[in-house]
A and B are shown apart, each in its own frame.
Chain A
């Protein structure tokens, strides 16, 4: 391995590759070790390489409106409120929450897309507002998934709002009932 093929070498003196008189010397080198090394490095780089780069999801927050008259008004019929509970539970209601919570429905991340699509088709585009209310029990992943759901369904207007106490209690109650 790795020796020069010097079978036809005559004299005892060595000549470098640049010397003109070295016609007798073969230039063939055994490349096997070089190939070995090459493939070793290839395997190393294949295993260490990271192909997928992280992407950035843009999020623009509105400035908090101090005065109530400056706040955006939304038509009740076009509002869909999504509440994020623990263990990937999603709850939703359309319009405002009824006093007896009759329009409070539970769902999950699989089915919520259908709910959003249905709502999107049923309401004119300019009235459609989705409100995302994450509870304290939900995870960061849930929030990102829900925001992602907005871009998947091309929802133009949506808001991230703090949860109200009434809603929080409803979630806790529903979740407690759902376990049994």
Chain B
């Protein structure tokens, strides 16, 4: 044969190694990822130098959106059931317990709670809802809510988180604080984004010195 003897090299590459790397990375990202829950209330939190990660169990979250409307959410379904019973018996609201337990947040006054729960879950958006009224101290329903929540937890550990929007005005924040104070809930946390301590400040110096005991 007159064919020149060029060795036919295969164009196939061994993909095994690449595949290994790809799936290693994949498993890393799958394990580290934490999906951002689709939030019905859009809130941009301010940043702070606090380093403690926000707790995610037994949370009582009070959200203040940018218009100063206040929303409340609980994660413990058992507690929510107790609260629903409590509301029905003391206030005669006649709310649907199942819907109440399933609701991811509460954004209406006691009087409107039923119609609020009647709205389908995915249509409950913070900007369309009235929020829990807490305009002045005499009509502060947050106080009432917190009293009921406190009663339902019955001394069990709960983490009160306050999540405010950057642009929300101080009075609504103050109303929430007042409601907390009235219920003797004096320990709570503000949800913030992490931020590094500015260089040269006292906190920065403290963090730089590893021998010093860090602030709890």
**Residues of chain A at the chain B interface (Cβ within 8 Å):** 30-32, 34-35, 38-39, 41-42, 45-46, 48-64, 84, 113, 117, 120, 134-145, 147-148, 151-154, 160, 162
Q: B165 contacts which chain A residues (CB < 8 A)?
A: 140
Q: A49-B33, A140-B173, A147-B48 are in contact. Are A59 and B188 (CB under 8 A)?
A: yes
A138/B22 in contact, CB under 8 A: no
By beta carbon, the residue of chain B nearest A53 is B53
Instruction: List 19 additional contacts besides A39-B22, A61-B186, A148-B195; criterion CB under 8 Å.
Output: A30-B12, A42-B25, A49-B32, A54-B193, A55-B52, A56-B52, A57-B191, A61-B177, A61-B180, A61-B181, A61-B187, A135-B170, A136-B170, A139-B170, A140-B64, A140-B167, A140-B173, A141-B167, A152-B202
Contact among A32, A35, A48, A143 with B35 in the assembled complex (CB-CB below 8 Å): A48
B-side interface mostly: mixed
**Residues of chain B at the chain A interface (Cβ within 8 Å):** 12, 15-16, 18-19, 22-23, 25-26, 29-30, 32-36, 45-55, 64, 161-162, 164-174, 177, 180-181, 184, 186-195, 197-198, 201-204, 206, 215
B167/A55 in contact, CB under 8 A: no
| A151 to B188 Cα, complex, angstroms | 16
B189/A140 in contact, CB under 8 A: no
B191/A148 in contact, CB under 8 A: no
> Chain B nearest CB: distance from A80 CB in Å?
15
A45/B33 in contact, CB under 8 A: yes
| A87 to B171 Cα, complex, angstroms | 16
> Chain A nearest CB: distance from B9 CB in Å?
16
| A136 to B173 Cα, complex, angstroms | 10
By beta carbon, the residue of chain B nearest A145 is B46
A143/B173 in contact, CB under 8 A: yes
| A30 to B161 Cα, complex, angstroms | 52
| A119 to B164 Cα, complex, angstroms | 30
Q: B193 contacts which chain A residues (CB < 8 A)?
A: 52, 54-55
Q: A59-B190, A139-B170, A141-B166 are in contact. Are A148 and B180 (CB under 8 A)?
A: no
Contact among B22, B173, B191 with A54 in the assembled complex (CB-CB below 8 Å): B191
Q: A35-B22, A42-B22 are in contact. Are A57 and B189 (CB under 8 A)?
A: yes
| A–B pairs, 30, beta carbons within 8 Å | A31-B16, A31-B19, A35-B15, A35-B22, A38-B23, A38-B26, A45-B29, A45-B33, A46-B29, A52-B193, A54-B45, A54-B193, A56-B53, A57-B48, A57-B50, A58-B50, A60-B187, A61-B186, A63-B184, A136-B171, A139-B168, A140-B46, A140-B172, A141-B166, A144-B46, A144-B48, A145-B48, A147-B190, A148-B47, A152-B202
| A151 to B202 Cα, complex, angstroms | 9
By beta carbon, the residue of chain A nearest B202 is A154
B194/A59 in contact, CB under 8 A: no
Q: A35-B19, A55-B53, A148-B49 are in contact. Are A143 and B198 (CB under 8 A)?
A: no
| A141 to B168 Cα, complex, angstroms | 8
Q: B162 contacts which chain A residues (CB < 8 A)?
A: 59
Q: B164 contacts which chain A residues (CB < 8 A)?
A: 140, 144
Contact among A140, A147, A152 with B169 in the assembled complex (CB-CB below 8 Å): A140
